[in-house]
Amino acid sequence: QVRLVESGGGSVQTGGSLRLSCAASTDKYSSTCLAWFRQAPGKEPEGVANIDPYGSTTYADSVKGRFTISQGSAKNTLHLQMNSLKPEDTAMYYCAADVVLRPYCKSLSPAFFGDWGQGTQVTVSS
């Protein structure tokens, strides 16, 4: 079974930065859409950003200009650089992969991503 493992979460103050990483136990996800989601307590999962195998990206309006999604130098890694963090960014962050292996990103909806990591907590204090 493929595993996705997130790392890099932590606690920062408003305006701080964090860099999340996601490592997959397979290289096959290098040819499909990968994404970051987040879920705050009591809320539905929210799509943060996605990236296709060609490097095209999509961002949620709430993070545009502050967050950057990127593929790592290793085929099985994904990153999320988060700058100018706000308290409303506090959530559990998950990386996810399109298990249908579409070579493009169809949507930022969680419904299109079948493989999820366990998450890494990000807490931003004011």
pLDDT value of position 74: 81
Torsion of CA 1, 72, 85, 94, to 10 degrees: -10
∠ at Cα 4 (66, 36), nearest 5°?
25
pLDDT in tens, 12-48: 999 999 999 999 998 888 889 999 999 999 999 999 9
CB atoms within 10 A of CB 25: 12
pLDDT in tens, 89-110: 999 999 999 999 888 998 999 9
Residues 89, 122 contacting (CB under 8 angstroms): yes
Q: CA 27 to CA 59: how far, in whole Å?
A: 24
